[in-house]
Amino acid sequence: MKSGASWRIEAALRATLLQGAWNFERMQNLGWAYCMEPALRALYPDPARRAAALRRHLELFNTHPYLAPYVLGAALRAESEAAAGRGGVEAVAAIKAGLSPALAAVGDSFFWANLRPAAGLLGVVWLWLAPGRLRLAAPLVFLGAYNLASLPLRLRGVRAGWLKGDGVAVHVARLGLPAKAEGLRRMALVLVAGLCGALARINQPAVGPSPVADNFLFLGAGLLMLLLLRLSVRPVVLLVLCTLASLVLALAIPPMNPH
């Protein structure tokens, strides 16, 4: 029989493929059962019991894929206790039903609504301001920024869920993802303002291999946005102002005559 650490590691790696068989009827259930299968194989040597346990994990399951490992770790612990006779299988279902909706809401807000746009903006900023062929690295900047923030959570989630059990929700709350999401929102607005400042010179491109003027405009506009955020101006108002300012400046500055 494999050790507990062995099948927890295997479950964590399989969790990266959780959505590989997503379906409309039961959503992530196939991916979830795939993640649980190594543990069930170790915990239930009897084929009949193992098949019954696997059928239980083919029920409807859906949460944010990056926070699913936390649910997975807690469920693995409850399943191991049920297999050893120290608890019932109802505890496994209760953990899945209790944690999944809460982590789905937190994950959607942090990863989809804030981290992904902020990382994308970082890639756009790199594309606009980087000199020469370094601009070609913009997709790598986006992917690097996004995965540096998300991969540690995905890989450590199973271990945290296993250690905390049904108290893993408190552990996730202590990560402070809602507060970090607010920080990402502010960073994204600063990047948008900086881009608007740089794009205002679209008719007057910087001369030479290093667009120094664009960089200064980016920095100045970003600092102005930061000041307005500190003054509690609403983000929607700031986005409208950025759009209007960039359009007015781009149209007001006449194109530079190349001759």
Whether the model clears a pTM of 0.85, i.e. scores above it, the answer is: no
Q: Is residue 164 part of a domain?
A: no
Report the C-alpha gap between 234 and 80 in whole angstroms.
Answer: 50
Q: Which pairs from 12-15 meet CB under 8 Å and 24+ separation? A: 12/69, 12/72, 12/154, 12/155, 12/157, 12/158, 12/159, 14/38, 15/65, 15/68, 15/69, 15/72, 15/154, 15/157, 15/158
Residue the block writes with tokens 């910087």: 206
Owning domain of residue 44 = 4-101
Count structural domains, the chain.
Answer: 2
- The answer to the question of residue 171 being in a domain is no
Looking at 101, 127, 159, which one is the last position of a domain? 101
pLDDT in tens, the chain (259 residues): 455 788 889 999 999 999 999 999 999 999 999 999 999 999 999 999 999 999 999 999 999 999 999 999 999 999 999 998 888 889 999 999 999 999 999 999 999 989 998 999 899 888 877 878 898 999 999 999 999 989 998 889 999 999 998 899 999 999 999 999 988 888 887 777 777 766 655 545 544 444 555 555 666 666 676 666 666 777 667 667 776 776 676 666 555 555 4
Choose the final residue of a domain: 84, 101, 118.
101
